[in-house]
Amino acid sequence: MSQGIISESVRNFLFYLSSVQKRKAAWMFLLLILSSVIDVFGLASLVPIIIAASRPGSIFRNSITNWVYHALHFQSEKTFLVFLIIGLIIFFLVKNAFTTLVNYQQVRFTAEIALKVVNNQLGKYNNLSFWDFSRVGTSNLIHYTVGVPQIFVNGIIRQLFQFFSELVVTLVIVIAILIYQPALFLVLAVVLGPATSLTYRVLRNRSMRIGIRADVLKPVTFKLMSEAFAGYVELKLAGKQFQVKDKVLENQEELQDLEAVSYLYSQLPLKMIEMVAILAVATIFLYSLLISENTENLVTIIGLFAAAAYRLMPSVNRLILSLVSLKQHRFVFDNLSLHRHLEEKVAPLQQPLVFEHSIELRNVTFAFPETIKPVLNNISFKVSKGERIGLVGSSGSGKTTLMNLLLRFYEEQQGQLLIDGHPLTEHNLDAWYRLVGYVKQDTFLMEASIRDNITLADKNVDEQRLQYAIEQASLADFVQSLPDGINSLIGERGSRLSGGQRQRIGIARALYKRTEILLMDEATSALDNETEREVNEAISRLATTDITIFIIAHRITTLRDCTKIYEMKDGRLIAERTYDELVRNVLAN
């Protein structure tokens, strides 16, 4: 009834195991089997005690108990029975300690696998193309890289271990009952077999639908909460906080309903099996009273059934719950298999790259996936080292796309990007990234200190280089005015900084990494005049260096220090101007 989901789960589990981990998994499985056998042995040890208590003199009719009785020189049957009970208690203490140790090792092992899955997921999504990465969305990325691996471990891997462990227990108990009491086996088969199968069939598809729907709702929760907190000021001013809150609560209401139903489903197997067990006891009782001529076996049979049920019922319950969990969380297989070719993507052998003379775009054309019309159309220009290039044009003219192409987030379909006359390819991409710095309109800032934001939490900070970057970015006076100086915390997303200070930290970051090419995309467009002046001051300082700068700007004043300004329209370069020519053109229009 469950071969498909079990085999599928095992295949997906084994995919993430190295050869060493596969051997460790086999060892863990053997330990679980041993633990299960010991559990069953503990159950079996109850049988002679039950028989001894219910049938006086039975100790002497059993060769093993008779030998132990005389070997230890017991004088009374009652004293021997107390000895057996004390021994049983000690055995269960040792057994439970051992099984707890096995469970601890299992949890440690599965936690190790969880970390590997998270690592694979992070590597996979970090290897996505910029286009695909942007389309996934932050909330989905968080869910796929952290949430899904956790579900995979808790809902699949640990359930597999539990399933096989309980399966061994169930099989051993059932086989032992078949050998020792065939009639009792028949009762269990008739009563528990159909009940177990029916319970699983009722729950499996319902649970799977719950899992699929919950997987859809959880990223939505992340998205709504992120937007609600990130837009705190705007939502409060617009009076929209309650509207967003209602959306969150609506999403959570459905999710909590699903969790409640899932919890209810997890309780049903035990209730159903318990009811079936009571029916079984009643059946045995009625059989002994009405049919069997040997009514003195009544206490023994019911006692044996109770002993078997003590361990068998929880095992059957956990078997069903494991199968239902595997079904409920089957959706993770589809998620984990997405972009799987990127998990083991091997970066090409990297080669050095030297930038001493020029950057050239030669007949470059680029179109987004799934579109026909080029966003960049036959772009050609050459920039000498140390030049400052401005890019202007209306929205949609291709300026930011050109920046992303220079950053190699996009790759041209036609033409070439040449560095000192050599094509820029994936074989020298690492060297290119070391040369390039990027400052955009919404500078990325961590909830950390100014130091960590400039160095990106570098563990071995070059203090001299850091100070140079601060001075060149016109941050020195600001940093000195702070009580904690460069170690001052800037708040979430730089909430304690002005817009200009955020941008200058972005510039300082680029300078700290010894940037030779600096790309600035609308770095001053959202700033007021005074703040823009502060950022322009930092840009002017850079004009005295040999850093090659590309600037996208709607504000003409930001381009004052540019040696060339290219105007773009509909993905084409339509003009090359100086700053003065651009000003005259704007005034004329």
Q: Rounded to an integer, what distance in angstroms lies between the CA atom of residue 549 and that of residue 572? A: 20
Q: How far is CA 523 from the centre of its chain?
A: 33
Q: Which helix (H) or strand (E) holds 34?
A: helix 19-44
Q: Return the pLDDT at 288.
A: 65
Q: Rounded to an integer, what distance in angstroms lies between the CA atom of residue 491 and that of residue 112? A: 34
Amino acid at 113: I
Amino acid at 71: A
Q: Return the pLDDT at 33.
A: 81
Residue 329: which of 215, 197, 203 has the closest Cα? 215
pLDDT in tens, the chain (589 residues): 455 888 888 888 888 888 888 888 888 888 888 887 787 777 667 767 776 766 677 777 777 777 877 788 777 777 877 887 888 888 889 888 888 888 888 888 888 888 888 888 888 888 888 888 888 888 888 888 888 898 899 889 988 888 888 888 788 777 777 777 676 677 667 766 777 777 777 777 787 788 888 888 888 877 777 777 767 666 676 677 777 778 888 888 888 888 888 888 777 777 777 777 677 677 667 766 666 555 556 666 666 666 666 667 777 888 888 888 888 888 889 888 888 777 666 777 888 888 889 999 999 999 988 788 889 999 999 999 988 888 888 888 888 889 889 988 888 889 999 999 899 888 888 889 888 988 887 788 888 898 998 888 888 888 888 898 888 888 888 888 888 888 988 888 888 888 778 888 888 888 888 888 888 887 655 555 555 666 666 677 776 778 888 988 777 777 888 888 898 888 898 888 888 878 887 767 6
Q: Rounded to an integer, what distance in angstroms lies between the CA atom of residue 191 and that of residue 170? A: 15
**Environment class of residue 316 by beta-carbon count within 10 Å: exposed (0-12), middle (13-18) or buried (19+)?**
buried
Q: Which helix (H) or strand (E) holds 378?
A: strand 376-384
Domains of the chain: 3-334 (1.20.1560.10), 358-588 (3.40.50.300)
Strand 564-569, strand 388-392: pairing:
parallel
**Environment class of residue 415 by beta-carbon count within 10 Å: exposed (0-12), middle (13-18) or buried (19+)?**
middle
Amino acid at 412: E
Q: Rounded to an integer, what distance in angstroms lies between the CA atom of residue 77 and that of residue 466? A: 86
Q: How many residues belong to the chain?
A: 589
Residue 473: which of 436, 441, 511, 442 has the closest Cα? 511
Answer for the pair 486, 479: CB distance below 8 angstroms, yes or no: yes
Instruction: Taking the CA atoms of 8, 13, 17 and 22 in sequence, report the sign of the dihedral they define.
Output: negative
State phi, psi for 258 to the nearest 5 degrees.
-65, -45
Instruction: Taking the CA atoms of 569, 572, 576 and 578 in sequence, report the sign of the dihedral they define.
Output: positive
Answer for the pair 466, 451: CB distance below 8 angstroms, yes or no: yes
Q: Return the pLDDT at 328.
A: 85
Q: Return the pLDDT at 1.
A: 43
Cα first-last separation, the chain: 77
Question: Would you tell me how many other CB atoms lie within 10 Å of the CB of residue 425?
Answer: 15
Q: Rounded to an integer, what distance in angstroms lies between the CA atom of residue 514 and that of residue 453? A: 15
